[in-house]
């Protein structure tokens, strides 16, 4: 069955249902920022809170209504004249008139009967029309209501002037199959589908509702909302556009901007693996996947990240292959040889095996270290040991090959790093007097097992060079930085002699 309309309308309720996320409270100026972007990207209707809830909510409604946005400005109202008056007085174009329709809500929440609720609904429709408002008559908990009772309430509402109807799956229990069965009978006026995501069915049921005849979908940015939230705007829009080939009228390239704005203002972080807008949605680590992506992004991406205002990321770790590491290095401007690449990949995988995520800073440090030591060395490390403790003088011994000759030296120091550096300098003193001018260490990311980036500045015969080492062991990183730096100074000596 084809979708009922070629261009479903989008009603965004981030500023009402989304703000009902526990702990979220938006200031009027925050709501205006979100509403402005929602309107700019092409959302048809914006539900701006509940005007009866507070002075701040009424101020938000007035502020947004007076801005002259392209989108229709709506507000939530109960079947109460005061709510409707607030909506009209503070500039709303329309009202989302929500009426409890399941016997559970009627009897337990309202402690009334069906006849009372029916009259309340119909009288409220008439009053809202008299106040000049567009009315969307909404059945709360419609998915658990008696279908015949709901149809009668809807029909009476339409007779009294309701412009639109809404079927609310208030606790997320409606299945796509049940939506396909129920909704067609309620299409006596333009029908909206409003789904919650308690059982993870929000998007699927919303799509089924549109396919069954609904012409409008209620959504929230990032799927915000009470409990497990509502149908996410970004998921619905991209599903309709990509999977069903429909024009939603939404500027999809602004979706990520909208998502991050809402996340920042609500202080609700995006789940890492959230579809479309999560950090990992367009991030690849697996060597097979990354290799495929680099050849043709369609191999492992259903849409291009640019379509929603994002960029692809190749994340390096133990699953990374040579292709993804080489691509990342190329983006950083490194020109590397195969044997250098092999060493860099090995170090990346080692960090991944240690449970770490390799950042751009890590890769920079690893690449610099490998490029320094990969040239033909004057000095090669065979082994080193360090000993330290609260009752032991820090001591280090090193065994090096210097121009092919094996040399062993030992030294004490203020600590294990100082001791090993002193031992290294003593081991090479016959081929060059090298002094340590400066020593600097950074932990690239937090934790006791952080990758350590050591930078040393060495001097020989007035010549200064800076060298780096990057390892999870500070002593090993220091040894690496020292040896690569000494090699550069000693190679330069040989080149100058030549």
Average pLDDT over residues 77-95: 97
Strand partners, 395: 387, 412
Domain shared by 246 and 181, yes or no: yes
Q: Does the pLDDT value for residue 493 go beyond 70?
A: no
Q: In Å, what is the CA distance from 110 to each residue of 153, 168, 171, 359, 480?
A: 17, 17, 17, 56, 74
User: Among the listed ranges 133-142, 155-164, 282-291, 383-392, which one has the minimum average pLDDT value?
Assistant: 282-291
Domain shared by 386 and 492, yes or no: yes
Phi, psi dihedrals of residue 496, rounded to the nearest 5°: -65, -35
Query: What's the token pair of residue 25?
Result: 């409270």
* Among the listed residues 365, 363, 340, 379, the one whose alpha carbon sits nearest the alpha carbon of residue 468: 365
Number of structural domains the chain divides into: 3
Domain shared by 290 and 261, yes or no: no
Average pLDDT over residues 403-427: 92
**Residue 79 domain-assigned (yes or no):** yes
Domain shared by 93 and 51, yes or no: yes
Average pLDDT over residues 35-58: 96
DSSP state of 143: G
**Residue 209 domain-assigned (yes or no):** yes
In the sheet where 405-412 sits, what is the strand order? 379-389, 392-402, 405-412
Domain final residue pick, 329, 358, 387: 358
**Residue 80 domain-assigned (yes or no):** yes
Q: How far apart are CA 91 and CA 290, in angstroms?
A: 52
CATH number at residue 128: 3.20.20.70
Domain shared by 354 and 381, yes or no: no
Could you tell me the residue range of the domain that residue 351 belongs to? 283-358
**Residue 366 domain-assigned (yes or no):** no
Domain shared by 334 and 418, yes or no: no
Q: How far apart are CA 442 and CA 252, in angstroms?
A: 41
What is the predicted pLDDT for the residue at 211?
Answer: 96
pLDDT confidence of 486, banded at 50, 70, 90?
confident
Domain final residue pick, 358, 385, 414: 358
pLDDT confidence of 203, banded at 50, 70, 90?
very high
Element (H, E) at 381: strand 379-389
> Residue 434 in contact with residue 486, Cβ under 8 Å?
yes
**Residue 388 domain-assigned (yes or no):** yes
**Residue 467 domain-assigned (yes or no):** yes
Higher pLDDT, 373 or 135: 135
Phi, psi dihedrals of residue 248, rounded to the nearest 5°: -85, -10
Domain shared by 77 and 198, yes or no: yes
Per cent of the chain over pLDDT 70 is 88
Domain shared by 337 and 462, yes or no: no
- Mean pLDDT taken over the chain: 88
What is the predicted pLDDT for the residue at 1?
Answer: 42
Domain shared by 162 and 55, yes or no: yes
What is the predicted pLDDT for the residue at 135?
Answer: 98
Domain shared by 253 and 144, yes or no: yes
Domain shared by 221 and 344, yes or no: no
Domain shared by 19 and 155, yes or no: yes
Q: How far apart are CA 191 and CA 208, in angstroms?
A: 13
Domain final residue pick, 236, 266, 296: 266
Average pLDDT over residues 2-28: 89
**Residue 191 domain-assigned (yes or no):** yes
**Residue 276 domain-assigned (yes or no):** no
């Amino acid at each position: 069955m084809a979708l009922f309309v070629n261009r479903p309308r989008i009603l965004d309720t981030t500023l009402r249902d989304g703000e009902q996320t526990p702990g979220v409270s938006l200031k009027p100026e925050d709501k205006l920022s979100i509403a402005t972007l929602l309107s700019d990207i092409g959302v048809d209707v914006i539900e701006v809170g509940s005007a009866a809830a507070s002075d701040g909510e009424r101020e938000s409604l007035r502020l947004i209504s007076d801005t002259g946005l392209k989108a229709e400005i709506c507000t939530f109202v109960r079947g109460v004249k005061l709510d409707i008056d607030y909506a009209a007085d503070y500039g709303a174009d329309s009202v989302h008139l929500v009426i409890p329709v399941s016997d559970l809500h009627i009897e337990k929440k309202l402690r009334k009967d069906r006849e009372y609720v029916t009259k309340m609904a119909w009288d409220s429709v008439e009053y809202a029309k008299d106040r000049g408002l567009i009315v969307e008559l909404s059945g709360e908990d419609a998915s658990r209501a008696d279908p015949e009772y709901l149809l009668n309430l809807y029909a009476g509402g339409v007779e009294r002037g309701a412009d639109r109807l809404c079927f609310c799956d208030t606790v997320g229990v409606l299945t796509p199959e049940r939506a396909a069965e129920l909704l067609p009978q309620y299409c006596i006026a333009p029908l909206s589908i409003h789904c919650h995501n308690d059982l993870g069915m929000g998007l699927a049921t919303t799509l089924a509702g549109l396919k069954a005849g609904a012409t409008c979908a209620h959504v929230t940015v990032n799927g915000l909302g009470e409990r497990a939230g509502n149908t996410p705007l970004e998921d619905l829009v991209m599903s309709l556009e990509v999977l069903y080939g429909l024009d939603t009228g939404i500027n999809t390239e602004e979706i990520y901007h909208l998502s991050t704005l809402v996340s920042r203002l609500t202080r609700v972080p995006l789940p890492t693996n959230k579809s479309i807008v999560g950090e990992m949605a367009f991030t690849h680590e697996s060597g097979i996947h990354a290799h495929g992506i680099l050849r043709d992004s369609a191999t492992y991406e259903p849409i291009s990240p640019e379509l929603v205002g994002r960029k692809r990321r190749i994340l390096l770790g133990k699953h990374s292959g040579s292709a993804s590491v080489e691509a990342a290095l190329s983006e950083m401007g490194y020109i590397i040889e195969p044997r250098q690449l092999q060493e860099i990949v090995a170090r990346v995988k080692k960090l991944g095996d240690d449970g770490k995520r390799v950042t751009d800073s890590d890769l920079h440090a690893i690449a610099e270290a490998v490029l320094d030591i990969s040239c033909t060395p004057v000095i090669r490390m065979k082994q080193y040991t360090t000993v330290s403790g609260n009752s032991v003088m820090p001591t280090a011994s090193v065994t090096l090959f210097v121009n092919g000759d094996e040399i062993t030296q030992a030294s004490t120091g203020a600590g294990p790093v100082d001791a090993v550096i002193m031992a290294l300098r003593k081991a090479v003193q016959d081929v060059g007097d090298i002094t340590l001018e400066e020593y600097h260490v950074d932990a690239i990311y937090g934790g006791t097992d952080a990758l350590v980036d050591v930078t040393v500045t060495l001097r020989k015969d007035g010549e200064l060079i800076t060298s780096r080492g990057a390892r999870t062991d500070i002593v090993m990183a220091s040894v690496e930085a020292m040896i690569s730096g000494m090699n550069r100074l000693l190679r330069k000596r040989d080149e100058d002699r030549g």
